[in-house]
Amino acid sequence: FGVLPPSSLCCFLFNFLVFSASPNSMNMSSTAACQVQAVFQQYFFVATFLWTAVYAANQYMFVVRNHTSTGHYFAYYSGFCWGIPLLFVIIAGSDDAFGESGTSWCWIKEGYGGFRLGLFYLPLVVSVVVAAVCVIGVVITTLRLPQPSKNGGQESGKVRESILLSIELSGLFVAFVIIRLPSIIHRIEDFSSQATPAWVEFAHSLLSPAQGFFNALILFTSRHTRARFVRAITHARSGRYKQGEGDGLLSGVDGTGEEQDEERGARSIGSPMASLTRDIYDGEVRVFTGTWNVGNAVPPRDLSAWVEPGYDIYALGVQECNYKVSKHEKTPGINVFTPGRDCEQHWFNIVKDHIGNGYTAVAARSLWYIRIIVLVKNELVPYITNVDSATEATGFFHVLGNKGAVGVSLSLKGTSFCFLSCHLAAHQAKVKERNSNSADILNGIRLGERDIEVTQEFRHVFWFGDFNYRVDLPRETVIEAVRERNFELPKANDQMWREIRAGRALYGFEEGEILFPPTYRYERKKKHPLVITPGNRSPSWEEVTGEEERQYSQKKLRIPSYCDRILFTSMEHAAKARECMILAYDAASPHTFITSDHCPVHATFAVKLLRSPPRALRGKKYRITVSELSCKRLRPVAQILEKNKKGLNTADPYITFRSVYMSGPKCTSVAKDTLNPKWMREEEQVELECTFKGDDDLNISHIQVLVKDRTMIGDVDLMGQGAIPLAGSLREEGTTFSSVLVLRGKPAGRIEGLLQAIEIP
Backbone angles phi, psi at 96, to 5 degrees: 55, 40
Q: Mean pLDDT throughout 536-554?
A: 67
Closest CA to 49 of 140, 165, 132, 168: 132
pLDDT per residue as tens digits for the range 4-43: 445 455 555 555 555 554 444 444 445 556 666 667 777 7
The DSSP secondary-structure symbol of 590 reads T
> Whole-structure pTM over 0.85, yes or no?
no
Q: Write the pLDDT tens digit of every residue in 117-147.
A: 666 677 778 888 888 888 788 777 777 665 5
pLDDT at 362 > cutoff 70: yes
Phi then psi for 544, rounded to 5 degrees?
-85, -45
- Nearest C-alpha neighbor of 503 from the set 616, 618, 642: 642
Alpha carbon distance 339, 282 (integer Å): 38
pLDDT, position 77:
81
Instruction: Indicate the pLDDT class of residue 211, thresholds 50, 70 and 90.
Output: low
Residue 521 preceded by cis peptide, ω within 30: yes
| CA 680 to mean position of chain CA atoms | 37
d(CA 452, CA 465): 22
**Residue that wins the pLDDT comparison between 49 and 742:** 742
Rg over CA atoms, the chain: 30
State the Cα–Cα distance between residues 476 and 110, nearest whole angstrom: 66
Answer yes or no: are the C-beta atoms of 372 and 407 closer than 8 Å: yes
Q: What pLDDT is recorded for position 716?
A: 58
Name 616's Cβ contacts closer than 8 Å, sequence gap at least 6: 693, 694
pLDDT digits (tens, 9 = 90+) for 404-419: 999 999 999 989 999 9
Average pLDDT over residues 425-436: 95
In this prediction, residues 512-531 reach a mean pLDDT of: 80
Residue 395 clears pLDDT 80, i.e. is over it: yes
The per-residue pLDDT for 707 is 94
The whole-number average pLDDT for the span 476-497 is: 95
DSSP 186-249: HHHHHHTTPPPPHHHHHHHHHHGGGHHHHHHHHHHHTHHHHHHHHHHHHHHHH--PPPPGGGT-
| Helical spans, DSSP H, in 473-621 | 475-483, 488-492, 495-501, 541-545, 572-576
Which CATH fold would you assign to the domain 4-238? Rhopdopsin 7-helix transmembrane proteins (1.20.1070)
In Å, what is the CA distance from 689 to each residue of 150, 315, 621, 705?
39, 37, 7, 15
| Cα separation, 738 vs 721, whole angstroms | 13
Between CA 523 and CA 532, with CA 528 as vertex, the angle to 5 degrees is: 120
Superfamily, domain 279-610: Endonuclease/exonuclease/phosphatase (3.60.10.10)
What is the Cβ-side half-sphere exposure of residue 360, based on CA atoms within 13 angstroms?
A: 18
DSSP track, 440-481: HHHHH---SSTTS-HHHHSSEEEEEEE----B-S-HHHHHHH
pLDDT at 131: 80
Of 140 and 645, the structure prediction assigns the larger pLDDT to: 140
Q: What is the DSSP letter of 36?
A: H
- When pLDDT is cut at 50, 70 and 90, the band that residue 49 belongs to is confident
- What would the DSSP string read from start to end of 279-300? --EEEEEEEEEEEEE-TTSPPP
For the cut 80, the answer to whether the pLDDT of residue 456 exceeds it is: yes
pLDDT score at 693: 84
Q: What percent of the chain has pLDDT over 70?
A: 66
The pLDDT, as a whole number, for residue 258 is: 36
CATH match for 620-759 among 3.30.110.40, 3.40.50.450, 3.40.50.300, 2.60.40.150:
2.60.40.150
Q: Which is more confident, 349 or 556? A: 349
Comparing 420 with 89, the larger pLDDT belongs to: 420
Pick from 627, 580, 635: which is nearest to 606 by CA? Answer: 580
pLDDT digits (tens, 9 = 90+) for 249-276: 443 333 333 333 333 333 333 333 444 4
Do the beta carbons of residue 695 and residue 685 sit within 8 Å? no
| Confidence grade of residue 56 (pLDDT, cut at 50, 70, 90) | confident
Question: Would residue 543 be called left, alpha or beta, if left means φ above 0 and alpha means ψ between -120 and 50 degrees?
Answer: alpha
Which pLDDT belongs to residue 34?
A: 62
- The predicted-structure confidence for 563-583, as pLDDT tens digits, reads as follows 999 999 999 889 988 999 999
Asked if the domains 279-610 and 620-759 are classified in one and the same CATH topology, the answer is no
The 10s digit of each residue's pLDDT in 580-629 is 999 999 999 988 898 999 999 999 999 999 987 655 446 889 999 999 99
Given 3-state DSSP classes, what are the helix, strand and coil percentages for the chain, each rounded to the nearest 5?
Answer: 40, 25, 40
Question: Which residues, in sequence order, are CB contacts of 754 under 8 Å at separation 6+?
Answer: 626, 627, 628, 629, 734, 735, 736, 737
pLDDT at 421: 98
Instruction: Give the range among 347-361, 475-489, 545-559, 683-697 with minimum mean pLDDT.
Output: 545-559
Q: How high is the pLDDT of residue 548?
A: 63
The residues spanned by each domain of the chain are 4-238, 279-610, 620-759
CA distance 375 to 423: 21
For residue range 171-188, list pLDDT tens digits in order.
Answer: 666 766 677 777 777 667
Please check whether residue 228 is in contact with residue 39, taking contact to mean a CB–CB distance below 8 angstroms.
Answer: no
Average pLDDT, the chain: 78
Percent of the chain with pLDDT over 90: 41
Which helix (H) or strand (E) element contains residue 314?
strand 313-319
Give 278 or 475, the one with higher predicted confidence.
Answer: 475
Report the candidate in 39, 41, 37, 61 with the shortest Cα–Cα distance to residue 49. 41
